[in-house]
Amino acid sequence: MSWSRAGCQGPGVRLGSVASGSRTCQNPHVTYVPIEASLRCLCPELTAVVDDATASGNAAAASWRDFGQAIALSAPRPVVTSISESVRANLTYRPVGDPHYWLGEIHCRIHPDWFIALPFGPSFEETTPAAGLPRY
Ligand SMILES: [Zn+2]
C-alpha cells in the first residue's frame, strides 16, 4: 500500500521510551513511543479518525508498538464525529472494557496493522464511545 513506510510494519519496533504526559493513557503493559512517528504510519482511514478526533478537541495522547500497534486518544469521545461514509464503511469498533487496558479500539478493515485506542473517561462509565460503528 502506498501509505506504508519503512519502519512502520511489524510489532516490537522500539523507537524509544517516551512518556506522553497523559494522565488517562498511562498503561503498564505497553512501551510508549513518540506519537509523531506513529502518526506517519497510520493508513488513511485511521488518520481520518485521528484528524477528526483532534478537530473535536480529542487529540492523540500516546502511542505504543509492543502490544499491537496503536495510537491512543485523550478521551473516549468525541470520536468519529464527522467521518465520510466511505471511510466509516471501513471502520469497526472492538469493545475492550478492561480497566487494565483501555475502553475500546477502532480498527480499519483494510489495514489491520494499527488501531486507535480509546481510553476510559474519568468515570469509567462511557460504554458506547464509537456508537454507529459496527462491532467486530
Ligand atoms: Zn485503513
| Tens digits of pLDDT across the chain (136 residues) | 455 566 676 554 444 434 444 434 567 888 999 999 999 999 999 999 999 999 999 999 999 999 999 999 999 999 999 999 999 999 999 999 888 899 999 999 999 999 999 998 877 666 666 667 888 7
Q: How far apart are the CA of 85 and the centre of ligand 1, in A?
A: 14
Instruction: Report yes or no on 1 lying in a domain.
Output: no
The pTM for the full model equals 0.81
Q: How far apart are the CA of 44 and the centre of ligand 1, in A?
A: 6
Domain count within the chain:
1
Instruction: Report yes or no on 20 lying in a domain.
Output: yes
Q: How far apart are the CA of 124 and the centre of ligand 1, in A?
A: 28
**List of residues 6+ apart from 61 with CB closer than 8 A:** 20, 22, 24, 25, 35, 72, 73, 74, 119
Instruction: Report yes or no on 105 lying in a domain.
Output: yes
ω before 76 within 30° of 0 (cis)? no
Instruction: Report yes or no on 2 lying in a domain.
Output: no
Task: State the residue range of the domain holding 77.
Answer: 15-136
Q: How far apart are the CA of 45 and the centre of ligand 1, in A?
A: 4
Instruction: Report yes or no on 10 lying in a domain.
Output: no
